[in-house]
Structure 1
């Protein structure tokens, strides 16, 4: 199959090789070059599917420089594919700078649908999926991790994090400490693989389950936390919502300002209106 010069974003399985799509195999066999996060890791996958296309490495440390070289290949009429070690490229993986520069150079970027651990986990979590925030990996150091969770504490959306085995206990402990031990959450582990598991309950319960079972501390994890739920009382209204209300109330009637602030922060407008009255807005 002859392909026009373009950058193809090709997802690969997150565990089960049966999730590799026929189109993904066809594209990877047909392009002139495959940019891989790790050529040795991807090489095992390519060998399994009979893909012998030339590869090059594109990772966090060389992406900006390698992007210009890939653009030269596109200028010469080559089609190029981008893959990460697993799942959809750019989702907590390299590729953002490459895609941005390729688009700026005027070449097409063609995405293929496929596996993504965050979406796979969310679909089976039982947590609200109409609004969610993917946060990737939390900072490795305690202060950075706690600061990030504090900033997200009153976010009403389902929160999704990736985590690795050597930090899972510290991260769960931070979630309990900052978001609260009663916050509903789900931990998905080893998705699509032989030992796939889902642990659900409160944050404190999930932490105890992981602490008591060393097997739950192995593999790749997706952590999902229920969003913040405010009670209909002034005290429970997030500070950011009150800041928004106060700002809008300088230009609008309080009732209209409360309605707009409620829509922005996914809160009850009557509770915001009462809080505004109580605050003298």
Structure 2
């Protein structure tokens, strides 16, 4: 009879541990074991994570992720460290990137512990295509940067995933309706795994009306899943092409930028001119 595999907590190792996004039962046995046995847990918010640790009787040393120098020293001297965010998979719109970068540079082993992720949970329950998608996180706060991002996303053929706060959800839906299209299908997934979970889909204009009427939909953690551009005329205009034009035209001007992009991406100049004229007016 084969012996059951027992995972050994490794020294000089960074564990990236996924935690629940709402329902405390959404955590793996492996994650609990690692959190109990590492030398130290690096957390985003001590008070928030303490609720989870108490629930699973995890008594361990805690340090804030922001205290990077201390964590680097712990890892370098042979300690095992687990990092957790407030909820879900660390580094997805949460701190931790610089820790991982440090470990990569200093030959410190990195082990990801998979688990809950709001973006993926919203995507798979949206009914919108899941085979190709792009994650954009939160849209920029600056009005000009936000509009620029939405203009590019209008031509994105993959499914788009966004995070949004309750305070900005109405304004963002208004902007999506104007910049991406009022008939574009999207899904609002809020409070995933929690008691008040709701996942609703419709066109952007209908969704805007619904959210404005019902204040309940303006609360909690929100994920927006947007259907990719299905217009055959726009399929050639990928986000890569649009971004390339935007960058290049600042250096060589519109005409020359279009000529260069046309050659690089083998796309007709008239398509690029049409896109450029249309967006210059906005």
- Normalising by structure 2, we get a TM-score of 0.81
Q: Specify the alignment match of 1:31 in structure 2.
A: 38
Q: Specify the alignment match of 1:189 in structure 2.
A: 190
Question: Please, which runs of 5 or more residues in structure 2 have no aligned partner?
Answer: 1-7, 246-256, 273-282
- The answer to whether the 8 A contact 1:16-1:193 is kept is yes
For residues 143 and 50 of structure 2, the distance between their equivalents in structure 1, rounded to whole angstroms, comes to 36
Q: Specify the alignment match of 1:98 in structure 2.
A: 99
Q: Specify the alignment match of 1:178 in structure 2.
A: 179
* 1:7 and 2:27 aligned: no
For residues 59 and 170 of structure 2, the distance between their equivalents in structure 1, rounded to whole angstroms, comes to 41
- Normalising by structure 1, we get a TM-score of 0.82
Correspondences of 1:61-210 after superposition (within 5 Å): 62=66, 66-210=67-211
Are residues 20 and 236 of structure 1, via their aligned partners in 2, closer, same or farther at CA, if it must alter by over 3 Å? closer
SS in structure 1 opposite 2:50?
helix
Q: Specify the alignment match of 2:25 in structure 1.
A: 18
For residues 53 and 117 of structure 2, the distance between their equivalents in structure 1, rounded to whole angstroms, comes to 19
Tell me how far 1:245 sits from its aligned partner: 10
Runs in 1 of length 4+ with deviation above 3 angstroms?
A: 239-251
- The answer to whether the 8 A contact 1:168-1:217 is kept is yes
The alignment's C-alpha RMSD in Å is 2.6
Deviation digits for residues 4-39 of structure 1, max 9, x if unmatched?
A: 220000000001111111110000000111110111
- The answer to whether the 8 A contact 2:155-2:235 is kept is no
For residues 54 and 43 of structure 1, the distance between their equivalents in structure 2, rounded to whole angstroms, comes to 11
* 1:238 and 2:245 aligned: no
For residues 119 and 224 of structure 2, the distance between their equivalents in structure 1, rounded to whole angstroms, comes to 9
- The answer to whether the 8 A contact 2:9-2:34 is kept is no
For residues 41 and 82 of structure 2, the distance between their equivalents in structure 1, rounded to whole angstroms, comes to 5
Tell me how far 1:210 sits from its aligned partner: 0.6
For residues 33 and 236 of structure 1, the distance between their equivalents in structure 2, rounded to whole angstroms, comes to 49
Deviation digits for residues 41-71 of structure 1, max 9, x if unmatched?
A: 101111111111111111xxx4xxx333212
1:45 corresponds, among 43, 52, 59, to: 52
